Structure 1
Amino acid sequence: MPRIRRAVEKIHKIDEEELIILKKRVDIATAVIIVFIAILIARLWFLQIKKGEEYVKLSENNRIRIQQIQAPRGNILDRFGRVIITNRPYFNLVWTKEDAPNPDEVVKRLSQILGEDISMLLSSIREASGQPRYMPILLKEDIDWKTLVYIENHHFELPGVRVEVMPSRDYLYGNMASHLIGYLGQINKEELEALKQKKYQGGDLIGKMGIEKLFEQQLHGEKGYRYLEVDVLGFEQQILQHQDPLPGNDLQLTIDIDLQQTAEKAMEGLGGAVVAMEVNTGKLLALASSPPLRLDEFIGGISTKVWQEHLNDPLHPLIDKTIQGQYPPGSTYKIVTALAGLGERIITPETVFYCNGGLNIYNRRYGCWKTAGHGAISLQRALAESCDVYFYQVGIRVGVDKLAVYAESLGLNQQTGIDLEHEKPGLIPTSAWKKKKKNERWQDGETLSIAIGQGFDLATPLQICRMTAGLVNGGKLYKPQIIEEIKNPEGATLEKIQPVLLGTVQGSEHNRNLIIKGLIDAVNTRHGTAGSAKLPGITVGGKTGTAQVVRMAKFKSIPESQLPRKYKDHAWFTCFAPAEKPEIAVTVLVEHSGHGGSVAAPIAKQVLQEYFKDRLVVETEP
């Protein structure tokens, strides 16, 4: 019996040990299951709650596309509301990553269809790498009908490729006012970063120059969109939601189409500028730089070849000569010298100097344009006949620093403030300027050159036109104005731009009127230098100028007509009318063309004829 009892006890002991081991195993298994369930719950929470919205969007994007609709840019109108630039539909070729993740085969095929370099197409794709996969990438702008038809007929062979209808600029008057209006181009990375808060994206067209750039936010408008349901191949099934785009605002300019066209036609084949301004407001009626830009060359990016052609063009079409061309003002500067002489009481209207064809001073002879001389001459006739010797005498007595004071009060040596980029300030020197710039003392002989608008003097055509307006409008210096109104797409006025008075001309009204009399005589007397600007029934006053160009010694004795173009003088003419109550000032600068009276004045006359066409007296044959 004891033996049996011990055997039973041993069996019980073994069972208890196994139960303990089994229990430990069950506990471990239970813990593993609990941990697994916890991980599963956490993962489900992450997927459904934390990332749920994102994955819903990704799921929807398998069947939904967001298609943006470009907004038409605002129209650009002239001062009378006539449309200069509007929009037309054109067709862009775009590619969507989501419908064809691997672009290589598609791009290879498209390069053959479009005749485009593969690297250019891939570059467009790389530049848009940061945008959402469902957003289209612009590959080619404004494709022709032949390409459009081919793409549509071979759509299945070009996954992700489609044609978008876009609004494009339609230049109703060709390249008219091209430097003023500017052009559009694709947004670059720097511009995209700067405008990222304005809902721009890669491939958008934005203003790159002129009004198109400076008023981009007004002209651009707001994009619309369509939510499209598509099938697995990316083909549209139905429109789920639609929002029309909002067109940009319209800009009504101060420019008069008729005057602008007249100015540009008169300058055909020439380099230079024409500026016409309302004298009592500063509103610009014409702002023509010649030759104009060919605007269609810039949309979508100008080629290196064409850009180089423009750079090598001797007429320099890339420069807006109205505000960037800086030229010696020539005898138009005699207005400044006369005002300074009167203001400083160096001269009176009766002061007479003698001109024998030149002035011997400082051990050299300073010539007058009229080598036979003008004889005894006073202010009014000196202005009319543009006697250099008279203004040498006045200038040397006034001094370079005082001349600069009066020049600056007339708006020279400073930007005019026009709402265009890269305006040049010109240059009116002083003795301090020369010391700082060249570390040299001012020489008295240099003052003689300055007094007749040569030497260091530089001015833009816009500056000279504003100077003329300031002389005849009572001494007011206005900011040149190019925008009349900003209107919404329905034509309602959002903002009417008011004239801005920036300063006043130094000197009395009496002194200004004395100068005006001399300028009237320049056009209307027998020996005046500007008789070619005379109009029947309208009294015109004006000042010619011939800005000398530095020449090589071997050309000094050659007649002007036989000189190579680049060595010919620049021709100036600045004028106002009607003289009794001035309304308009016109300034013309023709590069390397000769004398102001024979070249520039007839161009100004054409602009004045257009402006006064309803008031001119018809001349009859005797």
Structure 2
Amino acid sequence: MPPRPLAKINKIDPAELKMLKKRIDIAMALIILSAVLLLTRLWYLQIYRGDEYAKLSEINRIRIQEIAAPRGNILDRTGQPIITNRPRFNVVWNREDAPNPDTVIKDLAKILNEDISVLLDRIRAATENPRYMPTRLKEDIDWETLVTIENKHLALPGVRIEVMPSRDYLYGDFASHLVGYLGEISRAELSEKHYAAYQSGDQVGKQGVEKVFEKYLKGEKGRNYLEVDVHGFEQRQIKLQDPYPGNDLHLTLDIELQRTAEEAMAGRAGAVVVMEVNTGNLLVMSSSPPLHLQEFIGGISQTAWDRMLHDPLHPLLDKTIQGQYPPGSVFKIATALAAISEGIVTPDATYFCGGSLNFGNRRYGCWKKGGHGTVDFQRALIESCDVYFYSVGMRLGVDKIAKYANSLGLGKKTGIDLEHEKGGIIPSTTWKQQRYKEKWHDGETLSVAIGQGYVLTTPLQLCRMTAAVVNGGTLYRPQLVHRITAPDGKTLKTFSPVSEGKILGSAHSLALIKEALVGVVNSAGGTAKVVALPDVLIGGKTGTAQVVNLSHVAGMSDQAIPYKYRDHAWFSAFAPAENPEIAITVLVEHGQHGGSAAGPVAKALFKRYFELKNGTPENPAEGPSPSPAVDEKEE
């Protein structure tokens, strides 16, 4: 086989060869330069500063301490601080620095006067954290304990004092349910996406605006880079990165009015809500009894938690949004609006009340046993005649009552920026069928017409309803926050009024109801005459809500009825009547009578509101008006 011919080699162009050689030279130069830089850096680290770094690696180490950021302040509508921060001293432990941890923890438990099992539980809970991350063993220690630990620090390797910002409640338990409290983040929370930037031991909002506005309030942590020796003792600071404070929350709340409400409700269970009728801004949100916020700092004890859990006045419940109660006669506003709007009644048509109404085989009594005699639409509201509303309710039917009640915002959540709000119940034929698989009975409508039976509402819902009736028919979403500002004062976010539409009913119908509500406070036979002020025209509606069947308390005097069986007392009002600015709703649990129990609380608030508006000083000796003796004109 003949040999294969050699491949033909083309001659390389001189210019092309020159370009190729130039590229090779550049590449070689870059390689040499990189090698020189690398060798120079190695010489700098290993020879020039070698002794220094060898000492750090063999004798010392660098530790990074995270510095908690101060949370943003919480202020009232005028910029007056409600909650700020103070330093808190915590005991933390670095397991890396404790050669004999059992002895250290045993000694520390004695100093802290704490059961050793509690400390061990905290250590076990932090086992998934990096070893360099300290475990918080005790929070908010007193000065004496701090001094003891500092004096014995050589005998407590790995133990140190951590200084953290803590909440400073300037007015004690002021607005406690609304502002909420902080607590250590839980394992369950750490697994949630929006807590991705947190770690074990961090403090987070657990309730109220502290939780809802956590992302604005929390701030950004700082870092302290420290050189420490083998025993964990600090040698020098290498670098400090300061924390950045959280943003400030400016509430719609008014400190003076909130304080007036809380003082008026002291020792009683219930709720007070004050709302601007033309914005939905909340000036007061008070649930009593309050939470004791100081008990939550550093983690609430089991003893304190159990005490609150079993307290018959239910301090853990925010009664403004979570308490669901029969509204009693305050609900007659909804029934009246439905009746006049649907043409079931006219303003002048009269009904006779003889003290009861027979329907089917049952007798439905009026709260005034002797009856109200002949009453028209407005007089029925003024005197709160049950028989009148039984009659119109029967003609309306439950579904029409429900339609108007729903348009007034009842039976559904208001949308307030707080968690766990309840929606209440406005029954209908469909609701009962779905809930109980039962048919609606006509007799049940009579109870609904006067705010009893299945009807349940929250104090916030009734305040919003009252505001909508007297502001011309606009239903506003309740607002708690006015604006959010950065630490430098720059406004980051503002909250404008949010209208959720118009309620049912004509302007004429609403005007008739408003006029009647003014009569409740200011005319003969009105059920809230105790609330009247000399310089301000107030309108409102009292309510007494049964909590048990009347057969349980038949024949008993008010004083003889056991507390838990006593009726709830309501009063929902507005002022000034000519051009309403605020609505107030007061609930006194088991207060028995709206006029004498809830009315004076509202009166004190109206008085203080107009004192503040007009710049007149408060009379410190004058509180809520004393409750009058109950007579036949009180519901």
Structure 2 length as normaliser, TM-score? 0.86
State the alpha-carbon separation in 2 of the partners of residues 311 and 132 from structure 1: 36
Larger radius of gyration: 1
1:388 is aligned to 2:386: yes
Give the SS at the match of 2:399: helix
Letter in 1 for 2:319: K
Q: Are the equivalent residues in 2 in contact too, given 1:276–1:587 (CA < 8 A)?
A: yes
1:355 shift after superposition: 0.6
1:233 shift after superposition: 2.1
Letter in 2 for 1:387: C
Q: 1:610 to 1:483 in 2, by over 3 A?
A: same
Letter in 1 for 2:424: G
Q: Deviations over 1:492-518 (max 9, x none)?
A: 211111111112200111100000010
Name 2:113's counterpart in structure 1. Answer: 115
1:486 is aligned to 2:493: no
Q: Are the equivalent residues in 1 in contact too, given 2:90–2:162 (CA < 8 A)?
A: yes
Name 1:572's counterpart in structure 2. Answer: 570
2:604 is aligned, of 581, 597, 606, to 606
Letter in 2 for 1:227: Y
Q: 1:197 to 1:475 in 2, by over 3 A?
A: closer
Q: 1:256 to 1:99 in 2, by over 3 A?
A: same
Name 2:507's counterpart in structure 1. Answer: 509
Q: Deviations over 1:517-563 (max 9, x none)?
A: 10000000121001111111111000000001114745321112211
1:364 is aligned, of 362, 365, 379, to 362
Alignment of 1:10-29 (within 5 A): none
1:531 is aligned to 2:554: no
2:296 is aligned, of 286, 295, 298, to 298
Name 2:279's counterpart in structure 1. Answer: 281
Q: Deviations over 1:84-103 (max 9, x none)?
A: 00000110110112212542
Structure 1 stretch 119-128 or stretch 599-608: which is displaced more?
Answer: 119-128
Letter in 1 for 2:266: E
Give the SS at the match of 1:228: strand
Q: Deviations over 1:476-497 (max 9, x none)?
A: 1111100000011122211111
State the alpha-carbon separation in 1 of the partners of residues 109 and 221 from structure 2: 29
Structure 1: segments with no counterpart, 5+ residues? 1-47, 49-54
State the alpha-carbon separation in 2 of the partners of residues 60 and 93 from structure 1: 28
Structure 1 stretch 295-304 or stretch 74-83: which is displaced more?
Answer: 295-304
State the alpha-carbon separation in 2 of the partners of residues 374 and 305 from structure 1: 53
State the alpha-carbon separation in 2 of the partners of residues 69 and 617 from structure 1: 47
Alignment of 1:183-582 (within 5 A): 183-194=181-192, 198-551=196-549, 553-582=551-580
State the alpha-carbon separation in 2 of the partners of residues 60 and 297 from structure 1: 46
Alignment of 1:75-90 (within 5 A): 75-90=73-88
Name 1:24's counterpart in structure 2. Answer: none
Q: Are the equivalent residues in 2 in contact too, given 1:537–1:617 (CA < 8 A)?
A: no
Q: Deviations over 1:323-381 (max 9, x none)?
A: 01000000001001110001111111111111111112212221111111111110111
State the alpha-carbon separation in 2 of the partners of residues 87 and 576 from structure 1: 37
Q: Are the equivalent residues in 1 in contact too, given 2:59–2:230 (CA < 8 A)?
A: no
Name 1:165's counterpart in structure 2. Answer: 163
State the alpha-carbon separation in 2 of the partners of residues 197 and 334 from structure 1: 46
Give the SS at the match of 2:191: helix
1:148 is aligned to 2:146: yes
State the alpha-carbon separation in 2 of the partners of residues 96 and 195 from structure 1: 28
Identity %: 62
Name 1:125's counterpart in structure 2. Answer: 123
State the alpha-carbon separation in 1 of the partners of residues 213 and 616 from structure 2: 42
Name 1:45's counterpart in structure 2. Answer: none
Name 1:19's counterpart in structure 2. Answer: none
Q: Are the equivalent residues in 2 in contact too, given 1:535–1:616 (CA < 8 A)?
A: no
Q: Are the equivalent residues in 1 in contact too, given 2:182–2:297 (CA < 8 A)?
A: yes
Structure 1 stretch 230-239 or stretch 270-279: which is displaced more?
Answer: 230-239
Q: Deviations over 1:166-218 (max 9, x none)?
A: 11100000001000000011111111232686532211111111111111111
Q: Are the equivalent residues in 2 in contact too, given 1:551–1:567 (CA < 8 A)?
A: no
Give the SS at the match of 1:251: strand
Q: Deviations over 1:380-429 (max 9, x none)?
A: 11111101111111111110000000000000000000011111110010
Name 2:136's counterpart in structure 1. Answer: 138
State the alpha-carbon separation in 2 of the partners of residues 61 and 547 from structure 1: 75
1:617 shift after superposition: 10
State the alpha-carbon separation in 2 of the partners of residues 617 and 493 from structure 1: 32
Give the SS at the match of 1:107: helix
State the alpha-carbon separation in 1 of the partners of residues 477 and 58 from structure 2: 56
State the alpha-carbon separation in 1 of the partners of residues 533 and 195 from structure 2: 55
State the alpha-carbon separation in 1 of the partners of residues 116 and 589 from structure 2: 44
Q: Are the equivalent residues in 2 in contact too, given 1:609–1:616 (CA < 8 A)?
A: no
2:103 is aligned, of 96, 102, 105, to 105
State the alpha-carbon separation in 2 of the partners of residues 196 and 483 from structure 1: 22
Q: Are the equivalent residues in 2 in contact too, given 1:537–1:615 (CA < 8 A)?
A: no
1:231 shift after superposition: 2.1
State the alpha-carbon separation in 1 of the partners of residues 194 and 588 from structure 2: 44
Name 1:596's counterpart in structure 2. Answer: 594
1:177 is aligned, of 166, 175, 178, to 175
State the alpha-carbon separation in 1 of the partners of residues 175 and 221 from structure 2: 28
Q: Are the equivalent residues in 2 in contact too, given 1:409–1:503 (CA < 8 A)?
A: no
Letter in 2 for 1:184: L
State the alpha-carbon separation in 2 of the partners of residues 197 and 384 from structure 1: 54
State the alpha-carbon separation in 2 of the partners of residues 252 and 292 from structure 1: 21
Q: Are the equivalent residues in 2 in contact too, given 1:545–1:596 (CA < 8 A)?
A: yes
Q: Are the equivalent residues in 2 in contact too, given 1:536–1:616 (CA < 8 A)?
A: no
Q: Are the equivalent residues in 2 in contact too, given 1:179–1:210 (CA < 8 A)?
A: yes
Q: 1:377 to 1:128 in 2, by over 3 A?
A: same
Name 2:38's counterpart in structure 1. Answer: none
State the alpha-carbon separation in 2 of the partners of residues 364 and 70 from structure 1: 67
Name 1:10's counterpart in structure 2. Answer: none
State the alpha-carbon separation in 1 of the partners of residues 486 and 615 from structure 2: 38
Structure 2: segments with no counterpart, 5+ residues? 1-45, 47-52, 618-635
Name 2:12's counterpart in structure 1. Answer: none
State the alpha-carbon separation in 1 of the partners of residues 467 and 132 from structure 2: 57
State the alpha-carbon separation in 1 of the partners of residues 615 and 229 from structure 2: 71
State the alpha-carbon separation in 1 of the partners of residues 209 and 437 from structure 2: 41
Aligned residues: 565
Letter in 1 for 2:175: A
State the alpha-carbon separation in 1 of the partners of residues 100 and 554 from structure 2: 69
Give the SS at the match of 2:559: helix
Q: Are the equivalent residues in 1 in contact too, given 2:208–2:418 (CA < 8 A)?
A: yes
State the alpha-carbon separation in 1 of the partners of residues 448 and 75 from structure 2: 42
Q: 1:579 to 1:196 in 2, by over 3 A?
A: closer
